[in-house]
């Protein structure tokens, strides 16, 4: 566990270092990276739900939250950090190498592009934090995720959709994690 905590602290330092010049987190969050971003990514209810051995797509990974903290804490997961902006792709690649993450890889492109290039076995989880789902992304997800695949979406608390499981975040009174099974993907709203 000590090594994992050190890994999270190292990641926090890398994220803080690149936050301003690369736009990895909002200006108001730069002094709260570990508390706001990493703690939210590692919420106990979410970590307890995340099935062992999951293959995870972190869609619009940006600075790597939640994918990198998940990769640090859960070596049983296979994480693909999906990002289209090249300066952020470069950060993700540098961070993965610096943290020696053998269970994480980076893909430069969109979900749709990944769908056109992927021939490997399907993913079980697609996670999006601060990403607006489009119909094209939902179509791409149906090709990339298993029949039991789940979209994990961070968002504001409030109204739900039938079949969607909501996990309140311990670290925030106004944010939740929503677990969207395949049958509900057509009604994915924009992230708030």
Decide if pLDDT at 1 tops 80. no
Decide if pLDDT at 32 tops 80. no
Give the chain's mean pLDDT. Answer: 86
**Predicted pLDDT at 2:** 79
pLDDT digits (tens, 9 = 90+) for 82-106: 999 999 999 999 999 999 999 999 9
Which of 64, 82, 76, 79 shows the shortest CA–CA distance to 24?
64
> Which whole number is the average pLDDT over 30-37?
66
Q: Is pLDDT larger for residue 186 or for residue 58? A: 58
**Predicted pLDDT at 156:** 75
pLDDT digits (tens, 9 = 90+) for 123-181: 999 998 878 888 888 888 888 999 999 999 988 776 667 888 989 888 666 788 999 99
Q: Domains in the chain, ordered, with CATH?
A: 2-187 (3.40.50.150)
pTM: 0.91
């Amino acid at each position: 566990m000590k090594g994992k905590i050190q890994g999270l602290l190292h990641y926090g330092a890398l994220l803080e270092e690149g936050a301003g010049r690369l736009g990895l987190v909002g200006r108001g969050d730069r002094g709260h990276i570990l508390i706001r971003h990493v703690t939210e990514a590692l919420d106990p209810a979410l970590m307890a739900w995340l099935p062992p051995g999951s293959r995870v797509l972190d869609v619009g990974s940006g600075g790597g939250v939640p994918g990198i903290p998940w990769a640090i804490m859960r070596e049983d997961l296979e994480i693909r950090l999906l990002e289209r902006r090249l300066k952020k792709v470069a950060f993700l690649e540098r961070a993965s190498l610096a943290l020696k993450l053998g269970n994480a890889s980076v893909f430069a492109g969109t979900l749709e592009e990944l769908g056109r290039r992927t021939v490997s076995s399907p993913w079980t989880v697609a996670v999006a934090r601060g990403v607006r789902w489009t119909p094209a992304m939902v179509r791409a997800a149906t090709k990339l995720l298993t029949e039991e695949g789940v979209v994990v979406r961070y968002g504001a608390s409030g109204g739900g959709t039938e079949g969607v499981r909501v996990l309140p975040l311990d670290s925030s009174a106004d944010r939740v994690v929503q677990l969207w099974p395949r049958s509900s993907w057509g009604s994915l709203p924009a992230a708030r």
